[in-house]
Structure formats: C-alpha cells, structure tokens
Amino acid sequence: MREIGHFIGGKHVAGTSGRTSNVYNPATGEVQATVALADVADIRAAVENAKAAQPKWAATNPQRRARVFFKFVELLNQHMDELATMLSREHGKTVEDSKGDVIRGLEVCEFVCGIPHLQKGEFTEGAGPAIDMYSIRQPVGVGAGITPFNFPAMIPMWMFAPAIACGNAFILKPSERDPSVPIRLAELMIEAGLPAGILNVVNGDKAAVDAILTDPDIAAVSFVGSTPIARYVYGTAAMNGKRAQCFGGAKNHMIIMPDADMDQAVNALMGAGYGSAGERCMAISVAVPVGEDTANRLVDRLVPKIESLRIGPYTDDKADMGPLVTKDAYNRVNSLIDRGVDEGAKLVVDGRGFKLQGYEDGYFVGGSLFDHVKPDMDIYKTEIFGPVLSVVRAKNYEEALDLPMKHEYGNGVAIYTRDGDAARDFASRINIGMIGVNVPIPVPLAYHSFGGWKSSSFGDLNQHGTDSIKFWTRTKTITARWPSGIKDGAEFVMPTMK
C-alpha cells in the first residue's frame, strides 16, 4: 500500500498528525493508497520553510525566475503521459481528459514565462517640480492555495505559477482525494531549478485549511471548491487580514436559439455536459432550447447520443467518460436524480444502476437526461456535479435570458445561434462572468482571466491572466525629489500640482 505524505522544504516528509485518509481507485472502489492529513504543526513547518526561502527568491531577477518556468514547461511535456496516467488512476477521468487537465495548467506556466514584462511597474518623470513618481509591484510574501479534486494538475498550476513567478513562496493544499499529481508537480519544479521551500505541498482536510487561514505569516489565499466553503474561506481569510480570491459552485446554462446549428449544439452539449462525468465547474448542466420545436429537435438528437456513451475505466482508451471520484459523489448524484423524478421532471435517459462488467464496485453513473425541468426544482438550483443534463424549455429569447440572469450562480454561460445581433445583446446583458458564443465551455485562455460572478466568486481579482499578477503582488508607489532646485523653508499647505 502506497503511503503519501507531504512535500516540505524540497523533501518528502511523513507528517506529524498521525491521521490519514484513503485514496481510492474510482473504477474499482479499492483503496490504492493512504495520504497523510496535516495538522497545525505540518502547516507551520511548511510556512517556516517558505518564509526562510522567499526573500532570496524575491530578490532573484524576474528573468531568472522565468527560466525556471521555461524548464518546468519542458519537463511537463516530457512527463505528460506519466502525469496523465497518475491523475486518471486517482480521479477516474480518461487519460486524454487528464492530458487536457495538465495542458491547461501548462499554458498558465507558459504565460508566466513573461513575468519580466508582466511585473513591470510605471514611471512618471516630472510629476511635479523636480519630482518623479513611480510604482513597483512586489510579492506579497507567502501565499497559499486550496484546490479541488476535479482538476488536480490545472488548478494548482493556475495558482502556484503566477504566485511563484512574482517572487512569492507558496503552500499548496490539494484535495486529499487525488494527491499524487500535485506532489509530482512540486518535484518537477525542483528539477526545473526552483529553490527548496518555495513550493510546499501539504495534504489535509479542514484542519489543514483552518491552519492556513489563521497562520499569521500567510498573506494571501486562493481557493476553488463549493460555494459554502468558498464563503467560509473568504470570510475567515479576511478576518485574519489576508487577501483572498475564492471560487465556488456553478450552474452553467446553454441557450439554443431556433436558428442554431443543431448538430453543433448537440455535440457541444455532449462534450460539455458529460465530459469528465460532469465533474467540472464549467460543465454545461442546463440546456435552454427556445421554442417547442427547438426543444423537441434537441431532445430527439440528444437521447441516442447519451444512450450510446461509452463509459469505462481510465485504462479504456475508447471511453468517453469514467466513474465519479468517490462513493460519496456516486451516492449524491444518484440521490439528486431520484429527487428530480420525485419533483416531476421527466427522466428521459436514466443513468442510475449502471454497472460495468468487471468493475461492479466502481463509482459509475450513466449519462442522464431530464426534460421539462422547472426553475423551482432542486435539480435546477443545485450543482449536481455529475453526468446529468437538465432541459428547461423557454418560450422565447427573453425567457431564456432570464433563467441564468436569476440563478444564484454566475460562472459560465453559452448561447448557440447564427444571429450576431442576438449574440451581441446576450453578451452585453448577461450577468455571468464567462460567456461562450457558439463555444460550450468558455474557459478563457491563460492570458485572459478566469472567474465568475454572483455566488460563484468571492474577491476582486480573478485567476490567471493579468489579474493573477495583481493578486500575488502589492503595489508600492514612490514619490522622489532630489535637493537640486528645492526652496528653503517649510510648506504647511497640502501639496498640489496647481
């Protein structure tokens, strides 16, 4: 049985709490490893290592910091198959999907290779009589990231890459459900030339999270997870004087207009709704066809595709999707499907009871499709986080637009149409953070910022893009005047440029 500990000060350590958690193979239900759960002492050891290493790293010029990431990107490409297989073994998603997980993180690492330019400040010569004014961006010191199970490569890199490139040290607390990849990423960062102590990985549960949120030497915290925990992390971090960016749940809609290319819309819904078994915060979980004819055509085309989904373990290279991550996730998704039936939604395709020969104890749920879902139903309001798509029929465009506008969550939304005027109006009016026009999962590329609105996001700055550089640095502004030309005598009035 593998035993997974922590990675502190450039070394693997066992941890001190004595508490562990099981890591399962989602395809078989078997325990494949145990992972140490950190206590306050483990977090503190990571922070002490980070504090000791950070000043020298911050003093390293940005070009040399960038070279570490150039090498890290090279290593990620070299180890892509290894990382993807390791990720799939613990998460359950297909290997090709896992490669996408790694690549979207790698792209942020490529972005921060431009840190010499990204971290530049501003300068004004002659802001006043013999006065120059300039601003510089300096690292916050020690930062921390708390990441979810569903993207154990991508989201850690979204956090630690910009933080470390800016000159900070970093404490990563990944999900205890699939902890191997984050530790492997830390090993590769050391191989790329990162000094020991700049990236520390500490596994754990709520005890580790609370230790991070209350540690006096951690200046900033980034979080991705459910909305209730995002609220808790944001509030607790703020009470303890920390900068925080916290990203929560989602209920992403796709509006299908009558003029949409139906084949394109159906294929988009299949990938965005059932890829990774729906365990994505940017998954499309609500389809909103406009008009009864559009709805009937959509459902008629979806049903055979959902029924023919190939579901299998990560070792099946033909599988469209794998199992859910844990037995708890399996039970939760099944109970929500039950709830939808009880509420009166029409279960057109039922994924409950799916069994795969040879993997009867795995956490597999078949693709499910609800039709005639209403906005007051729990399955509409709740983030299911499984392979379940709900169809909410809208009479017209305004009614369709109203659905995501009024929903609690505001992460992502999409519209499928050939009408440029409708698409432009939609993008302008919708109160959602990320919008796709004939794009099903509108996750911005690394040089733009990722973040939702409403109860999907807490904090002023988003992930990656230029927002990430602002989040992981503080601005310092200097006003300088040298003795030449300065008049004698004190000035008692407020200085102005008058």
321 plus 200 within the same structural domain: no
Nearest alpha-carbon partner for 290 in 186, 180, 194, 422: 422
290 plus 202 within the same structural domain: no
The reply to whether 161 falls in a domain is yes
Percent of the chain with pLDDT over 90: 95
CATH code at position 413: 3.40.309.10
Highest mean pLDDT among 4-8, 15-19, 124-128: 4-8
229 plus 265 within the same structural domain: no
165 plus 126 within the same structural domain: yes
**What's the pLDDT score for residue 485?**
59
The residue ranking higher by pLDDT, 53 or 485, is 53
344 plus 465 within the same structural domain: no
Number of domains in the chain: 2
- Rounded to an integer, the average pLDDT of 253-270 is 98
17 plus 132 within the same structural domain: yes
β 457-458/243-247 pair status: antiparallel
474 plus 328 within the same structural domain: no
Parent domain of 310:
252-437
Which of 437, 464, 487 is at the close of a domain?
A: 437
The reply to whether 61 falls in a domain is yes
Answer yes or no: is pLDDT of 497 > 90: no
d(CA 134, CA 341): 62
291 plus 213 within the same structural domain: no
For 152-192, the pLDDT digits (tens) are 999 999 999 999 999 999 999 999 999 999 999 999 999 99
Indicate the pTM of the whole model. 0.96
Instruction: Give residue 225's pLDDT band: very low, low, confident or very high (50, 70, 90).
Output: very high
420 plus 348 within the same structural domain: yes
Q: Is 166 a catalytic residue?
A: no
143 plus 188 within the same structural domain: yes
177 plus 296 within the same structural domain: no
β 243-247/220-224 pair status: parallel
d(CA 82, CA 89): 11
**What's the pLDDT score for residue 483?**
77
102 plus 169 within the same structural domain: yes
CATH code at position 176: 3.40.605.10
Residues 6+ positions from 232 with CB-CB distance below 8 Å: none
**What's the pLDDT score for residue 488?**
66
The reply to whether 485 falls in a domain is no
For 300-319, the pLDDT digits (tens) are 999 999 999 999 999 999 99
The reply to whether 449 falls in a domain is no
Answer yes or no: is pLDDT of 232 > 90: yes
The reply to whether 265 falls in a domain is yes
Other CB atoms within 10 Å distance of the CB of residue 86: 20
d(CA 392, CA 104): 31
The reply to whether 390 falls in a domain is yes
Q: Which residues pair with 473 in a beta bridge?
A: 139
Other CB atoms within 10 Å distance of the CB of residue 325: 25
Q: How far is CA 259 from the centre of its chain?
A: 33
The residue ranking higher by pLDDT, 485 or 175, is 175
The reply to whether 483 falls in a domain is no
Torsional class of 75: left (φ above 0), alpha (ψ -120 to 50), beta (otherwise): alpha
Answer yes or no: is pLDDT of 491 > 90: no
The reply to whether 486 falls in a domain is no
Nearest 5°: phi and psi at 294?
-60, -45
Instruction: Give residue 466's pLDDT band: very low, low, confident or very high (50, 70, 90).
Output: very high
